[in-house]
Amino acid sequence: MKSLILFMVLLTLWLLMSGYYNILLISLGIISCAFCVYVAKRGKIIDDEGLPIFFMPRLLNYLMWLFKEILMSNLATAKVIINGKVEPETFTVKASQVTDVAKVTYANSITLTPGTVTTKMQKNIFEVHALNSDFGDDVRTNEMDKKVTWLEGKK
């Protein structure tokens, strides 16, 4: 089942990015996607981490929230840089996610929002560098942690 889902995702992305729709190119795309699924299956990498299907039902809602946070953080970062009030800080934050893929999603979400970067991950403790304390406070509120845990579907 996961192989079929992976094939459909790959083929859909291939068709969307190709932009050319004739018999030859579509058949080459099908062959390429089938080969990729074959290699992934032989390499035993089609699992919950390689294809996190459990994220899918809540992913759109999370992505819309994340894009809003990225936009707001972009504006805040620009304001801090223009005003010259850069006071960097490094701190740690605890991650409440259970699966490794959710922990990586949380760390990447922190890094995607301008003004913060996840610099180290050790089990459930992340080291975060923030442009100033306001950005650090945003991470320390654990709102993003709760959203990723919700995305994971464990709580």
Q: How confident is the model at residue 139 (pLDDT cuts 50, 70, 90)?
A: confident
Find out whether 132 and 80 touch, Cβ atoms under 8 Å.
Answer: yes
Distances (CA, A) of 118 to 30, 83, 110, 131: 38, 24, 6, 12
Give residue limits of the domains in the chain.
Answer: 2-42, 54-152
Write out the H or E segment, with its range, that includes residue 127.
Answer: strand 125-130
pLDDT for residue 46 is more than 60: yes
| Region of poorest pLDDT, from 5-9, 52-56, 91-95 | 52-56
Q: Which residues pair with 91 in a beta bridge?
A: 128
Does the CA dihedral 79-82-83-89 come out positive or negative? Answer: positive
For residue 84, with 0-12 CB atoms within 10 Å meaning exposed, 13-18 middle and 19 or more buried, which class applies? exposed
Q: Considering the entire predicted model, what is its pTM?
A: 0.71
Q: How confident is the model at residue 116 (pLDDT cuts 50, 70, 90)?
A: very high
Q: How confident is the model at residue 67 (pLDDT cuts 50, 70, 90)?
A: very high
Q: For position 68, what pLDDT does the model report?
A: 93
